[in-house]
Structure 1
Amino acid sequence: MNFQTQIPTAAVLGPALLIFALFALARRRGNAPGWRGGPLVLRVVLALYVGAVLSITIFPLWIYGGIYRNEAPWTNQIQLIPLLMADVTMIPNVVMFVPLGFLLPLLCHRLTGARTVAFCALASLGIELAQLLQYIALGNGRAVDINDLIANTFGGLLGYAALRTVRRTAAARAALKKSSRSPSTGL
């Protein structure tokens, strides 16, 4: 049977963001620490950011069958040699992960620079593995590239470096501290 169909981005991410909004509202009403004021705003921004990244990297989901299915071996979809095909197309991948490197330490105060960068690398690896699984299971044409992993991780590092730079000024440090601290608990 030959077919091609699409699961739209909004069909998956719309309900996911709605569930997050209901969860956030319940946590806020229950006076849960970190779910009021600045931290709540940071959590909402992070949720919207994650939704945007997923809409670029994973969605929409295309499902192919029969003659429409990509028949190339899945191993041909993996580019394991770093920087072999490096060019300006890596720049959007760098830019895409800068906000993650900036936001994570604001929400998780225990994250050091190394842990933030490691988390960004793991998030990027998760995206690449999801794209590979999509290729294998759904027959779409997404490729897995080590350069994306490198660029995304570097973007996370730049985001963390930007946060460190911004924190050097007293006014910015005070504003960031206020936005990342829960007013009721001082967290």
Structure 2
Amino acid sequence: MNFQTQIPTAAVLGPALVVFALVALSRRRRSIPGWHGGPLALRAVTALYGTAVASLTFFPLWIYGGIYRNQVPWTGQIQPIPLITADISMLPNVIMFIPLGFLLPLLSRRYNTCGRTVVTCALISLGIELTQLLQYIAFTTGRAVDVNDLIANTVGGLAGYAVLRAAQRADATGAALNRLSSTPGV
């Protein structure tokens, strides 16, 4: 059977944001710590950021079958050698992960060190690349898996962490970030 269909971004990410909003509202009403004021705003910003990243990396999801299915083997979609094709196109991947490196330490004390934050950013990036590979294998979406994306995303996470620490050293921004954070003083 020959077919091509699209799962639109809003069909998946819209309901995910609604579920987040309902959970946040429920936790706020029950006065659960971390779900009021600044920490709630921080969680909402993080949910929107995560939705934006998912939108850029996974959607819209095209599904092809029959004659429309890509015949290129999935192994041809992997670029395993770092920096051979490195160029300015890596910059958007760096930029995409700066907010993650910035937000993680504000969300949890678990990420109060640079190493932990950067490793988490690298693991999230690896998860994105593996999901894109699985999408290609299952649906032949045409997304490539590139080790350069992993490197660029990790560098972006490191840059975000550095920006956060610089902002926390300044009195005015440090105080504002402490009001937002669910882990004040981190």
Scaled by the length of structure 1, what TM-score is found?
A: 0.96
Report matched runs for 1:28-177 at 5 Å.
28-111=28-111, 112-177=113-178
Query: Residue by residue, what CA displacement relative to the aligned partner does 1:141-167 show, whole Å, maximum 9, x if unpaired?
Result: 110000000000000000000001111
Alignment RMSD: 1.6
More deviation, 107-116/152-161: 107-116
Secondary structure at 2:83's aligned position in 1?
coil
- For structure 2, list consecutive stretches of 5 or more residues without a partner in the other structure: none
Identity of aligned residues (%): 70
Count of equivalent residues: 185
Tell me the distance in 2 between the aligned counterparts of 1:108 and 1:181. Answer: 7
Residue 39 of structure 1 deviates from its aligned partner by 0.3
Tell me the distance in 1 between the aligned counterparts of 2:84 and 2:69. Answer: 28
Secondary structure at 2:82's aligned position in 1?
coil
> Quick check: 2:62–2:139 contact (8 Å CA) kept in 1?
yes
Distance 1:75 1:182, change over 3 A: closer
Secondary structure at 2:129's aligned position in 1?
helix
Q: Tell me the residue number matched to 1:11.
A: 11
In the TM superposition, structure 1's runs of 4+ consecutive aligned residues that sit over 6 Å from their partners are none
Secondary structure at 2:110's aligned position in 1?
coil
Query: Residue by residue, what CA displacement relative to the aligned partner does 1:61-119 show, whole Å, maximum 9, x if unpaired?
Result: 10000111111111110000000000111000000000000011001123111111111
Residue 182 of structure 1 deviates from its aligned partner by 8.0
> Quick check: 1:4–1:65 contact (8 Å CA) kept in 2?
yes
- For structure 1, list consecutive stretches of 5 or more residues without a partner in the other structure: none
Secondary structure at 2:169's aligned position in 1?
coil
Residue 181 of structure 1 deviates from its aligned partner by 4.0
Secondary structure at 1:41's aligned position in 2?
helix
Distance 1:182 1:82, change over 3 A: closer
Give 1:179's aligned amino acid: L
Tell me the distance in 2 between the aligned counterparts of 1:68 and 1:61. Answer: 15
Residue 20 of structure 2 is aligned to residue 20 of structure 1: yes
